[in-house]
A = this chain, B = another copy of it.
Amino acid sequence: MSIKIGIMGYGNLGRGVEIAAAAASDMELVAVFTRRDPKSVKILTEGVSVVHADQVEQWTDKIDVLLICGGSATDLPVQTPKYARLFNVIDSFDTHARIPEHFANVDKAAKEGGKLAIISCGWDPGMFSLNRVYANAVLPDGEDYTFWGKGVSQGHSDAIRRIPGVKNAKQYTIPVESALEAVRSGSNPKLTTRDKHTRECFVVLEEGADPAAVEQAIVTMPNYFSDYDTTVHFISEEELLEQHSGMAHGGFVFRSGRTGVNGEHRHIIEYSLKLDSNPEFTTSVLVAYARAAYRLHSEGQVGCKTVLDIPPAALSPLSGEELRAHLL
């Protein structure tokens, strides 16, 4: 018997969930919900219904887990509490500062509906969070370091595109190799924002725009660029689309800790991701947590959870016996 899933929203994430669910032996995609005209949405899987989002309530008894594939800025704060009353739900809410508030809203809704929600699944928050929590629990005396990249930052790319004279842009966040090496060495360096990451921008100008003015506007932009060493390249729109449309990303989580009577022993825990497709990896995480949501709800659990609350075994299609015999 397979776990019946639905997808709410069919962009990069929705499509990624569709692909990840097809790769899972125990999942069956039964419907994709969209705010667009369903007739206009072509999905990859044959025989799966595409339904308007307004009709999702008619599917409550046909879907075990609904994976909500909206954006964190405006979609998820509304959608996840709304649908958590009706379905077990998974989201990838990634605005770290607003997680406590989102958690409270979703928890209330899920408890009212007798459903289970797992929020903020993905890699940061998500896999990186797990590694921070495990490593801090094991090495309470130590320092944490998180690096992101190399990968495109959507927020920084958007910030460049808002500058007058800019037609299009992509911005890569790049971890500084010497900073990574310093952390790996166990020297517990104090690293400033500038020490940890550089920013590289590929910019397409509007006709007649002044490159020097645009470059100045970028590199001095507070919060986004002024605290970083930033490189700006002006390229054609054609080159941007050809060379910079990839969705690769990644990053590193370190814990550098000490044990011993006098803290004389040093330990480095390093976790890293190198991802060809940020959305497809994110949705692979969502689908694994959909399996856990289904199982834990079947055991009677309700309310909002995060990846920190879920036993690792609940993510795996293998039984406890198989896991102990082969992966422990």
Contacts and interface: CB of A to CB of B under 8 A. Distances in A.
B316 A133 contact: yes
Contacts of A280: 259-260, 265, 267
Interface residues of A, number: 69
B267 A324 contact: no
A29 B261 CA distance: 15
A313 B309 contact: yes
Contacts of A311: 308-311
A208 interface: no
Nearest to A103: B324
A261 B19 contact: yes
Contacts of A261: 19, 44
Contact of A133 (B44, B284, B313): B313
Interface in A255-286: 259-261, 264-277, 280-281, 284-285
B273 A271 contact: no
Contacts of A273: 267-270
A110 interface: no
Given A23-B140, A280-B259, A284-B259, A307 B312 contact: yes
Contact of A272 (B186, B270, B274): B270
Interface string A1-37: 0000000000000001001100111000000000000
Contacts of A134: 127, 130, 312, 315
Contact of A328 (B23, B129, B313, B321): B129
Contacts of A136: 316, 327
Interface string A292-318: 000000000000001111111101110
A85 B264 CA distance: 37
A16 B264 CA distance: 13
Contacts of A125: 328
A230 interface: no
A145 B298 CA distance: 34
A325 B259 contact: no
Query: Looking at A100, A120, A134, A273, which has the most chain B CB atoms within 10 Å of its CB?
Result: A134
Interface of A: 16, 19-20, 23-25, 44, 96, 99-100, 103, 120, 125, 127, 129-134, 136-141, 184, 186, 259-261, 264-277, 280-281, 284-285, 288, 291, 306-313, 315-317, 320-321, 323-325, 327-328
- CB-based closest 3 A-B pairs: A137-B315, A265-B276, A265-B277
